[in-house]
Amino acid sequence: MGYTIPIGPYHSSLEEPVYAKLYTEGELIKDAEVHIGYNHRGVEKLTTQKNFIQTIALVERVCGICSHSHAFAYCLGIESITGMEVPKRGQYIRVITAELERLHSHFLWLGLAAHLIGFESVFMYAFNAREKVMDALEALSGNRVNYGMNIIGGARRDIDSGQKEKLLSMLDELHDANKTLKNIFVNDKTVAMRTKGVGIISREDAMKLGIVGPHMRASGIEYDVRANDPYSSYEDFDFKVIVHPDGDVFSRVVVRVLENDESIKIIKQALEKLPEGKINLGVKMPRVPEGEFVSRIEAPRGQLVYHIVTDGGPTNYRVSIHVPTFRNAASIPHMLKGSYVADAGLIVACIDPCFSCLDR
């Protein structure tokens, strides 16, 4: 006998509002639908009312996890339209902040994955590691969430030698914490039993679904904007694009835990090679001419695309934001079909969704 199970839009298992309908037959999900839009704040429309400096603060608030990524992508777009060349030191500081953000996002997700698997001690362990990153971000920027590290033309705050030393020692601690997590997630039998073969997306299906980020790389596609279309000096750093071929929840865990090591590697290189000089082009901003640019970066959850149109006036003409969850959430019904109802929570969570980002 078939039942339709509604989940959401407001449900105890959801941290953000979204509405999913599961069409089931016994324990199996036969079909699924996802509806979004419950957290729409009109950010894109608001950008047309704000000047370019005000917009940085606005887009940072699209998401609480990847706030730096939004401001980063927006500033890159405006700098391209204006023809500004950000000083190398400023570019490195942006990369350091972006990789710290990726670390705290991945640790957060690994903790939540452990929680959903029922492995509460690992949840606590992952969140303990994340706290170290949050402390580092607070020390660098003064904030735990919206860092305000970007201005048009560079970085807002510099990194001094004391901060550099503290960051490097924190990264050593984090490397050890990630080693323990890696050992648990890759080798633990319970984790494997709960995640292997669940929510599979093959390489071919991943191409058709248009998924991005770690979710895509876990289906065997080697693509990372940082490597394929380097921005902000990413070409200066040596790092691997982590790929896993199986396309299941286990692969997504492995990709993220291994990406943590790569982020640590990038930050260490950036700190060691941090060039001398200015961090930005100053607070006096040139007039933004009429123009258009499609800016994109590799946010923690995947490719983040900003399509910016300016008309020579003091505000944005159009800012279109397409976040990784917009691409990855479309794959949820595909993964749910044929899965057990008991796995639905883990499958939805495995894309590392951010519905606030998605709804803008």
Interface contacts to other proteins, rule CB under 8 A: 9-10, 19, 21, 33, 35-38, 40, 42, 45-46, 49, 76, 80-81, 207-210, 223, 228-232, 291-294, 296, 303, 305, 307, 309, 311, 317-318, 320, 322, 326-327, 329-331, 334
| Dihedral sign, Cα of residue 299, residue 196, residue 355, residue 106 | negative
Q: Residue 187 CB, nearest distance to other proteins (Å)? A: 34
* Residue nearer to other proteins on the CB measure, 142 or 314: 314
Q: Residue 290 CB, nearest distance to other proteins (Å)? A: 10
Widest pairwise Cα distance in the chain: 69
Q: Residue 285 CB, nearest distance to other proteins (Å)? A: 20
Task: Kindly list the distances between the CA atom of residue 61 and the CA atoms of 45, 95, 148, 181, 360, in Å, as whole numbers in the listed order.
Answer: 14, 19, 10, 30, 9
Q: What SS3 class is residue 274?
A: coil
Q: Residue 63 CB, nearest distance to other proteins (Å)? A: 17
The string of DSSP letters for 325-348 reads HHHHGGGHHHHHTTSBGGGHHHHH
* Residue nearer to other proteins on the CB measure, 194 or 360: 360
Residue 97 has φ and ψ, to the nearest 5°, of -65, -40
DSSP 201: -
* Residue nearer to other proteins on the CB measure, 317 or 340: 317
* Residue nearer to other proteins on the CB measure, 74 or 125: 74
* Residue nearer to other proteins on the CB measure, 45 or 179: 45
Q: Which amino acid, 276?
A: E
* Residue nearer to other proteins on the CB measure, 221 or 350: 221
Q: Residue 313 CB, nearest distance to other proteins (Å)? A: 11
Q: Residue 209 CB, nearest distance to other proteins (Å)? A: 5
CA Rg value for the chain: 20
The string of DSSP letters for 177-230 reads HHHHHHHHHHH-HHHHHHHTTSS---HHHHHHHT--HHHHHTTT----HHHHS-
Adjacent-strand bridge partners of 298: 303
DSSP 246: S
Q: Residue 330 CB, nearest distance to other proteins (Å)? A: 5
* Residue nearer to other proteins on the CB measure, 233 or 263: 233
DSSP 11: -
